[in-house]
Structure 1
Amino acid sequence: MGGDYAVIGLYIVAMIGIGWYGLRLARTKSDYLVAGRRLGWFMYSGTMSAVVLGGASTIGGVKLGYTYGISGAWLVITIGLGILVLHAVFARRLVKLRVYTVGEMLDLRYGGSTSTISGVVMWAYALMLTVTSTLAFATIFKVLLDIPDAAGIAIGGAIVVLYSVLGGMWSITLTDIAQFVVKTIGIFALLLPIALTSAGGFDGLRERLDGSYFSFTSIGGGTIFTYVLIYGFGLLIGQDIWQRVFTARTPRVATTGGIISGVYCLLYGLAGALIGTAAKALYPDLASAQDAFATIAERLLPTGVRGLVLAAALSALMSTASGALIACSTVSTNDLLARFRARPLGVNANRVVTLVLGLVAIGIAMVVTDVVAALTVAYNLLVGGLLVAILGALFVRRGTRAGALASMVTGSIVVIVFMVTDGLEANEPIYYGLGASLVAYLAVSFATPRTPADVLARWTERLSGKAAQPEREGVAAS
């Protein structure tokens, strides 16, 4: 595997080098957190695609293809649909708000402090999302180096933490573009055609596999509906996604680049499911479906090509891990730690927080075992706790701060309770959590005084882009 080691080694050195270059660009808070709000459509679409297609979409997507056939594409398809809706409906308004976090948006709309509670929920979501991608490093490094899972997690996590700490969103954006190119070549140009050809094409797949592998609904209607709720709606409101929206130079850039990214995600989902289906035809008796990606890469691909495909998998993991890490750090500094300081935290403070959270995520990843289950926990918390309050802020003028707070607390508690009683992968937690959150939002909002007219006036003005918030730049020291 000497050629593979060389390819992976060059890739890792390049990522660290790009991260170091990003250090020169990240001079202010705006640079570090949202890349100075200066991205054009190409960089925007590439980095948006990179951040949403991580370990669960790549390793987990192939795993679902191995288990269910082409129906396994639904997880990533719902992610793509969420990206499409976000950019067709919401992105222009979000760019005009010129905020840093979802919590800031909620404070602006409801006219009071909601960002502490929303920040805690969003922080938990972003941290678990970081964990899921960090966890998946074990699969790649097991193939490359035959080392224990913990060592693979430590190596991959350390690389992500290093370049994220150095340059923040600029480093992450630049590495994401490189990772997007590697991922596209590795998955679409190499692994997909080689896997299908080795399995005898579509005719060979039909000869070896049960007909259910070619049904687009074999994964189950309930599961598809749950994916839409969790991932489709989750993509509408996640801090990691909104923070990428905030990097767009203009509202038009966000819309155009985001729609391109959404279409890319749909194609990526189909590719992963087909690769998993081919793996099932070639290696039907794997001990764990989660090993399908690594197995097909290890056994089918020649030296060098295998290294590039594994680099593509690393690209997917690193993009999502770094995006979620900077999101978690931003929520920590803007929505939580800022409550205890009279002046904004500076760039160096953001770096310290990013470092600490990265180390915490690596530690958690070493004790978690299932990437899809961990991702489900993250999105259950996000959607069950925040979806109603966020959509209410955008569409329900009668919604109040008390109603938003009630919905966040109620939805989060219900989701956690039912995840404990019914299991992490059960569908019921998100159903009950969303229902309880909606009832609490409407009941409390209509039972409490309306949001003051001056608050709604400021919100409307900001939403129109007529009164952009001045950037509160951080200095070099905290």
Structure 2
Amino acid sequence: MDSLTIIWVIVCAYLLLNLLVGVYCHIRVKDSTDYLLAGRRIGVLMTAGTLAATEIGGGSTVGVAAKAYGSWGLSAGWYVVSAGIGVILVAFIAPLLRRAMATTVPEIIGRRFGGSSHLITSILSMLATITLAGVQITATATIISVLTGLSTELAILICGAVLVIYTMSGGMWSVTMTDVIHFFVLVGGFSLAVPFVLHNVGGWETVVAKLPPEQLGFTKVGWKTIIGLIIMYFMTFSTGQESVQRYFAAKDEKTAVLGSIICGIIMALFAFVPAVLGLVALAEFPNIEANNAVATVALNLMPPIMA
């Protein structure tokens, strides 16, 4: 098979795998608690994995590479380090979230401040979550579009359909199981990609020689931005339904805390991997769209299976 065919087969198989996991998890759903919160039975490693897969998404991979390709350079990695620190800080309030025995963030707000606050928070939460879903689907579709040659619009429809079907099929169980798969593919795949890519361009020294020196500044983005990101992440991770639902689903308070800390450490260790790929893209393909940096590197500098 040629390279494009191999990529097509792997992408289709991956999408199919997610659908099958969603259908399989449907049989584990016995009631609304199973559907919405995986029965509140998620262990430490599953909690860490689903949190990491939730937070290491399109922004932390495609977005970081695009920022590294653009004005942030290597310091784009702080986007994910800051998120990791934010997740670790949430560990301090994770017991309170788990102890609430709630299903949603607006539910907690409603208990304290009444029905009007519950309604307002629900609307805000819904708008934020819809926007987040749109960004993640677009990030996925961008990669698939470049790798396969599909139009971005068609790729968005396909990715969105797969996401909706497997989520509806098994609820939080299917989301958690597919999150763990996403975690290993994202973190493992990106980390393994770096040595392949650097080898194919002649090593890190070759990349550095082609870049403006300022692109390699470790804190080029500035400490104000870094501190601002940490504060933003702490506030959004402690209130965003996509994050808090993982704490609600944890087996107990200790699980929620340990899962949060492990997730934060993993994110900090992974942070600069997409930034390196973005810098390689800038060195080798200086005239592409920044958002296509990861996909362009994958298509041109990796074996098809790795891509």
Q: Give the TM-score normalised by structure 2.
A: 0.93
* Distance in 1 separating the partners of 2:181 and 2:248: 21
> How much has 1:164 moved relative to structure 2?
0.6
Q: Which residue of 1 aligns with 2:62?
A: 59
More displaced, 11-20 or 138-147?
Answer: 138-147
Q: What SS class does the counterpart of residue 249 from structure 2 fall into? A: coil
More displaced, 150-159 or 228-237?
Answer: 228-237
Q: What SS class does the counterpart of residue 34 from structure 2 fall into? A: helix
Partner amino acid for 2:237?
A: L
Q: Which residue of 2 aligns with 1:84?
A: 88
Following superposition of structure 1 onto structure 2, how do residues 116-195 of structure 1 map, counting pairs within 5 Å?
A: 116-189=119-192, 191-195=193-197
Segments of 5+ residues of structure 2 without an aligned counterpart are none
Q: Which residue of 2 aligns with 1:443?
A: none
Higher Rg: 1
Aligned 8 A contact 1:76 1:269 in 2: yes
Aligned 8 A contact 2:57 2:136 in 1: yes
1:45 alignment partner, one of 37, 45, 48: 48
Partner amino acid for 2:49?
A: G
> How much has 1:138 moved relative to structure 2?
2.6
Q: Which residue of 1 aligns with 2:293?
A: 292
Aligned 8 A contact 2:33 2:39 in 1: yes
Percentage of matched positions with identical amino acids: 32
> How much has 1:221 moved relative to structure 2?
4.2
Partner amino acid for 1:142?
A: S
Aligned 8 A contact 1:46 1:176 in 2: yes
* Distance in 2 separating the partners of 1:198 and 1:212: 24
The answer to whether 1:304 aligns with 2:299 is no
2:38 alignment partner, one of 24, 35, 39: 35
The answer to whether 1:75 aligns with 2:75 is no
> How much has 1:198 moved relative to structure 2?
3.1
> How much has 1:239 moved relative to structure 2?
1.1
Q: What SS class does the counterpart of residue 271 from structure 2 fall into? A: helix
1:7 alignment partner, one of 6, 10, 22: 10
Q: What SS class does the counterpart of residue 286 from structure 2 fall into? A: coil
CA deviation map 1:245-292 (0-9, x unaligned): 111001111111111111111122211111111211222222x11110
Partner amino acid for 2:205?
A: D
Partner amino acid for 1:3?
A: I
> How much has 1:303 moved relative to structure 2?
2.0
Aligned 8 A contact 1:65 1:277 in 2: yes
Partner amino acid for 2:245?
A: Q
1:97 alignment partner, one of 96, 100, 116: 100
Q: Which residue of 2 aligns with 1:375?
A: none
Aligned 8 A contact 1:78 1:232 in 2: no
> How much has 1:151 moved relative to structure 2?
0.3
Cα distance change on mapping 1:112 and 1:158 into 2, 3 Å: closer
Following superposition of structure 1 onto structure 2, how do residues 50-449 of structure 1 map, counting pairs within 5 Å?
A: 50-67=53-70, 68-87=72-91, 89-110=92-113, 113-189=116-192, 191-286=193-288, 288-306=289-307
Q: What SS class does the counterpart of residue 238 from structure 2 fall into? A: helix
* Distance in 2 separating the partners of 1:93 and 1:213: 42
* Distance in 2 separating the partners of 1:25 and 1:249: 16
* Distance in 1 separating the partners of 2:106 and 2:133: 19
> How much has 1:206 moved relative to structure 2?
2.6
* Distance in 2 separating the partners of 1:111 and 1:134: 34
* Distance in 2 separating the partners of 1:225 and 1:256: 24
| Higher RCO (CA-CA < 8 Å; seq separation 6+) | 2
CA deviation map 1:135-186 (0-9, x unaligned): 1233122123312111010011110011011111011111111221222221
CA deviation map 1:273-322 (0-9, x unaligned): 11111211222222x1111011000101122222xxxxxxxxxxxxxxxx
Q: Give the TM-score normalised by structure 1.
A: 0.61
Partner amino acid for 2:89?
A: V
Q: What SS class does the counterpart of residue 136 from structure 1 fall into? A: helix
* Distance in 2 separating the partners of 1:29 and 1:216: 47
* Distance in 2 separating the partners of 1:145 and 1:162: 22
Segments of 5+ residues of structure 1 without an aligned counterpart are 307-478
* Distance in 2 separating the partners of 1:124 and 1:36: 26
More displaced, 257-266 or 194-203?
Answer: 194-203
- Equivalenced residue count is 303
Q: Please tell me the root mean square deviation across aligned C-alpha atoms, in Å.
A: 1.6
CA deviation map 1:8-30 (0-9, x unaligned): 22212211110001111122111
Q: What SS class does the counterpart of residue 150 from structure 2 fall into? A: coil
* Distance in 2 separating the partners of 1:153 and 1:249: 35
* Distance in 1 separating the partners of 2:43 and 2:12: 30
* Distance in 1 separating the partners of 2:107 and 2:203: 51
* Distance in 2 separating the partners of 1:95 and 1:231: 19
Aligned 8 A contact 2:81 2:271 in 1: yes
Q: Which residue of 2 aligns with 1:331?
A: none
Aligned 8 A contact 2:87 2:233 in 1: no
Aligned 8 A contact 1:80 1:232 in 2: no
